[in-house]
Structure 1
Amino acid sequence: MRWQTTRSCTELGRERLDAVFVHNPEHHRGDRQMLTDVLRDSFAVLEQAAHAGEVTAYGVATWSGFSDGLFTVALLDQLACEAAGSRDHHFRLVQLPVSLVMDLHLTEALNQTGPITQAAELGWEVHASAPLHGGELLSLATAEIADLIHPGAPVAAACLAATASCPGVKRVLLATGQAAHWDDALAVTGRPAIPSAILRTVLDVLTAPV
């Protein structure tokens, strides 16, 4: 963890990192207790880096850690407290998949439950990853679904808007090699949030039997 943090500072040409994620800890080999120990030890190193002025905040980026029940927001908060020796810790970020395909956390947030709501209540930033499910959502969603979300909007824009409108989500992570796609994403995520009632209707349509 120390080596990777130092390397990131060097490659980015910065003395201080705004955010460091412990990436996919659910892939760690071992039982749940071992995973808990590894997380606590990782957080302890990052707390040291924060006190040294090398890191502003840290968190966990996960694909399935919450949905598989390997850890919870409460557990992460507890481990960060133990690593810091007090409640004054620097764990302030969670990254997890939120989309119309992987809709578990979106559904939970609409019902004011689950890790997104719990993290937001603690004042943590929630970063939504894979909003287009690796691009697969563009072929899975239809123009009718897009119109339900945002009448007249392209499918990609509508799907991004749905993720960006998830209650509790602060940032949406998107990768693209085309500047025009960045402009489109900025335009759609800068609009007012889609009402929760509409998002619930879209999810009902997507899960309805064919």
Structure 2
Amino acid sequence: MTAELALGTYRCRAIPEAAAHAAASGARWIDTAPNYRAGKAQRMLAGVLAARPTVHVSTKVGFFTAATGAAAVDAGVLTADQARAGHSLAPGYVRWQVDRNRAELGRERLDLVLLHNPERAHNGDRAGLYRAVREAFAVLEEEAAAGHVAGYGVATWDGFDGAFTVPLLRALATEAAGGAEHHLAAVQLPVSLVMMTPIEQALDGKGPVRAAADAGLQVMASAPLHGGELPAMVDQELADLIRPGLTPAQACILAAASCPGVTQVLLAASSAPHWQAAADAVAQPALDTARLRKVTDVLASP
């Protein structure tokens, strides 16, 4: 089954307009973070989310702007040295940022809170990283118990390249919750015809996407167009191999959406025509395993 299209706001130029159109077109998820658009993205979304209470929102804790860092220092949840780092998973900061996210988004209960690139928290110190993730998960379990968070997870760029695995994250969530009834619900990672490893691994029945899917976790594929660079790298011949009649951009989106285990593909489509073109692509039947494997083989060949 093809994954559903969701709005990602990292590179979105016109967030309120894009969010309104995506929601009106049937998108069920919008993804954001407190540091996007120089710290303004969440407030930009609040009006759309108020008008569309059934649209789910995923946000993050971890990275923050200089202004947010200064506010965290004033609130006593970060030291000046911690604020200068621009990233933190300190328990006090996580709790404070969740409350701030709720206020900025206008949501009493956040559908999903993701630790934002947690691998950045402790360079090379695996024990320190695991401790930080477990402590952040513990805060998010408390927030879930209070009704402020429905679920949590990890949004990473390269954390699954060796920093952690899905089974490890599940084990840390179990420890944080004090038992198997935890609220770990999702992972987010890049999946594209540039970042092909997750697709290749999933086709072989292994890797983070497959592990997350087998555990019943939501899998959000970020950067399906690799920051907008991918369509220029894919010619029409390859697009036709993926699915005849699609543009290169549509073909790239369909390939990511066809990765076994992916549940949402995040796209920063600022205009209505771009969103509709992408929606038309994911409305296509998913590529079968043989076709998707052929595409990755073609791209992997010298």
Letter of the structure 1 residue corresponding to residue 139 of structure 2: V
Q: Distance in 2 between matches of 1:54 and 1:125?
A: 19
Deviation at 1:61, TM superposition (A): 0.3
Aligned residue number for residue 43 of structure 1: 137
Would you say 1:33 and 2:127 are equivalent positions?
yes
Aligned residue number for residue 161 of structure 1: 254
Aligned residue number for residue 85 of structure 1: 178
Aligned residue number for residue 101 of structure 2: 8
Would you say 1:135 and 2:220 are equivalent positions?
no
Letter of the structure 2 residue corresponding to residue 56 of structure 1: A
Aligned residue number for residue 152 of structure 2: 58
Aligned residue number for residue 280 of structure 2: 187
Q: Any idea what SS the aligned residue of 2:267 has?
A: coil
Q: Any idea what SS the aligned residue of 2:159 has?
A: coil
Letter of the structure 2 residue corresponding to residue 48 of structure 1: E
Q: Distance in 1 between matches of 2:214 and 2:120?
A: 27
Deviation at 1:179, TM superposition (A): 1.2
Q: Deviations over 1:55-106 (max 9, x none)?
A: 0000000000002x11011100000000000000000100001000010001
Letter of the structure 2 residue corresponding to residue 207 of structure 1: A
Deviation at 1:191, TM superposition (A): 1.9
Unaligned runs of 5+ in 2: 1-93
Would you say 1:109 and 2:202 are equivalent positions?
yes
Q: Distance in 2 between matches of 1:201 and 1:78?
A: 35
Deviation at 1:184, TM superposition (A): 1.3
Q: Is the 8 A contact 2:257 2:286 kept in 1?
A: yes
Letter of the structure 1 residue corresponding to residue 159 of structure 2: G
Deviation at 1:190, TM superposition (A): 2.0
Q: Distance in 2 between matches of 1:90 and 1:181?
A: 34
Q: Any idea what SS the aligned residue of 1:172 has?
A: strand
Q: Is the 8 A contact 2:192 2:225 kept in 1?
A: yes
Aligned residue number for residue 120 of structure 1: 213
Deviation at 1:187, TM superposition (A): 1.6
Letter of the structure 1 residue corresponding to residue 293 of structure 2: R
Letter of the structure 2 residue corresponding to residue 123 of structure 1: G
Q: Is the 8 A contact 2:246 2:281 kept in 1?
A: no
Deviation at 1:207, TM superposition (A): 1.3
Q: Distance in 2 between matches of 1:190 and 1:86?
A: 39
Q: Any idea what SS the aligned residue of 2:221 has?
A: strand
Q: Distance in 2 between matches of 1:46 and 1:32?
A: 21
Q: Distance in 1 between matches of 2:241 and 2:214?
A: 29
Q: Distance in 2 between matches of 1:170 and 1:97?
A: 13
Q: Distance in 1 between matches of 2:170 and 2:297?
A: 33
Letter of the structure 2 residue corresponding to residue 36 of structure 1: Y
Q: Distance in 2 between matches of 1:133 and 1:196?
A: 22
Q: Distance in 2 between matches of 1:116 and 1:6?
A: 30
Provide the aligned length of Structure 1 versus Structure 2: 208
Q: Distance in 1 between matches of 2:130 and 2:235?
A: 42
Deviation at 1:27, TM superposition (A): 1.0
After superposing on structure 2, the runs of 4+ consecutive aligned residues of structure 1 that deviate more than 2 Å are none
Letter of the structure 1 residue corresponding to residue 127 of structure 2: Q
Q: Give the CA RMSD over aligned residues.
A: 0.8
